[in-house]
Amino acid sequence: MAQEGVDGSEGVAVLGNLSEINTISHALTRGTFKGLLRYSGQHRDSNLHMVQDSNTADISNEKKQQYSTIGGYLGYETAPFYNTSIGATVYTSQPVGNNPSNRKGLGGLDERDGDQDSYTVWGEAYIKFEQEGHRIKVGRQEMPDYKFVSLSDVRMTPITHQGAIYENTLLDDWQFNAAYISKMKERNADEFIDMAKGARLKEGGNGSRKMIRGSYDPSDYDSDGYTGDKKE
């Protein structure tokens, strides 16, 4: 038996008249807030506990998994000044009630240290330029319109990515998108990791990880990215 639930309330607020932005002060104070308050709780009958950053499934003596948490996000984007704006969003998940470490594996909280812990992260921090059908955005950001990456927003916070995008909508009923992505943040993590580490692996049916292409050695990576001897 499994019981799952994700519930939330989302809102957007615009401060001031965007047509009257003619100073930096106006741009900073007349931007747009966005926010989401969400509760998520799950209870599942399973002793197969696959946790984040794990290469193998944990067959636990505990035959249940559960978490209960509240959180969401709060973000702000400045009004455009000379067609340029900046924005940032903080995401968080905070445990509520009973979240035992031996019932982890559902991904609602940070599980990297073997427990179910809270996390808070700057998931978005970007600069954006828009003018007459051209849009450029650089930095940490959600990418809901790019099918080769996913928000996977099915727990408390989504996956976000770090990189640069260019979008062109000059032609009617046609849009051109291009993107370069260097890092990604898992949905229940508080740090960004190299895309080669985060996206080149897929889960096998028995919990193992298989290569999509190429080879992967975790010792070739540190907090700054790839450090192996094959780097050009």
DSSP sequence for 6-72: EEEEEEEEE-S-GGG--SHHHHHHS-EEEEEEEEEEEEEE-SEE--TT-SS-EE-S--EEEEEEEEE
Q: What is the pLDDT of residues 133-185, one digit of tens each?
A: 999 999 999 998 877 788 888 889 999 999 999 999 999 889 898 999 999 99
> Cβ neighbours of residue 216 under 8 Å, at least 6 residues apart?
196, 197, 200, 201
Neighbours of 69 (CB within 10 A): 24
Task: Tell me what pLDDT residue 107 has.
Answer: 86
pTM here?
A: 0.77
| Residues making up the chain, counted from first to last | 232
Distances in whole angstroms, Cα of residue 228 to Cα of each of 61, 210, 211, 223? 39, 20, 18, 13
Per CATH, the number for 24-200 is 2.40.160.10
pLDDT tier for residue 59 given thresholds of 50, 70 and 90: low
Percent of the chain whose predicted confidence (pLDDT) is above 70: 70
Task: Tell me what pLDDT residue 104 has.
Answer: 83
Give the residue with greater pLDDT, 76 vs 202.
Answer: 76
pLDDT at 17 over 80: no
Highest mean pLDDT, choosing among 64-68, 81-85, 174-178, 221-225 = 81-85
> Cβ neighbours of residue 227 under 8 Å, at least 6 residues apart?
220, 221
Long-range contacts made by residues 24-27, C-beta under 8 angstroms, separation at least 24?
A: 24/81, 26/79, 26/81, 27/78, 27/79, 27/80, 27/81, 27/85
Distance CA 162, CA 122 (A): 11
Residue whose entry in the numeric block shows the structure tokens 């007459």: 132
Q: Tokens representing 76?
A: 């702000």
Residue whose entry in the numeric block shows the structure tokens 């051209």: 134
Q: Tokens representing 124?
A: 């978005």
The answer to whether residues 38 and 71 touch, using CB atoms and an 8 Å cutoff, is yes
Q: Which helix (H) or strand (E) holds 196?
A: helix 195-199
| Domain extents in the chain | 24-200, 201-231
Q: What is the 3-state composition of the chain as percent helix, strand, coil, each rounded to the nearest 5?
A: 10, 50, 45
Averaged pLDDT of the chain: 81
Q: Of the candidates 96, 92, 59, 86, which has an alpha carbon nearest to the alpha carbon of residue 185? A: 92
Query: At 206, which amino acid appears?
Result: N
